[in-house]
Amino acid sequence: MEEVKLSRLAREIDEDRKKLKKGGKGEEVIKSLLFIVESPNKAKHIARFFGKTNVRIIGNAIVYEVATEKNVLLIAPSLGHIVDLVTREDFME
């Protein structure tokens, strides 16, 4: 095996991350999109429309993850009605 220099590897990773930026605006090429539906069965069924799904456990919730060409779709069940959904402004305070 070849010896790896960590400083060189870190520099290469940083360069690759910069290549993933679009037009110098700092916008990521691949975006995450979140769909919230009422039930786990609906989440699973909707995820199948978009392709092969991966199941992730976040906290105690099951989230279905689907990779598309430019997005990563996260389809999550709310397990009931959504009330007082937090907005970005509320979250930042």
| pLDDT confidence band for 5 (50 / 70 / 90) | confident
> Regarding the domain delimited by 26-92, which CATH topology (the fold level of the hierarchy) does it fall under?
Rossmann fold (3.40.50)
Write down the pLDDT at residue 89.
61
Nearest Cα to Cα of residue 56 among 38, 45, 43? 43
Q: How far apart are CA 29 and CA 37, in angstroms?
A: 26
30-65 pLDDT per residue, tens = 788 888 888 889 999 999 998 889 998 877 778 999
What mean pLDDT is reported for the chain?
Answer: 77
Write down the pLDDT at residue 84.
60
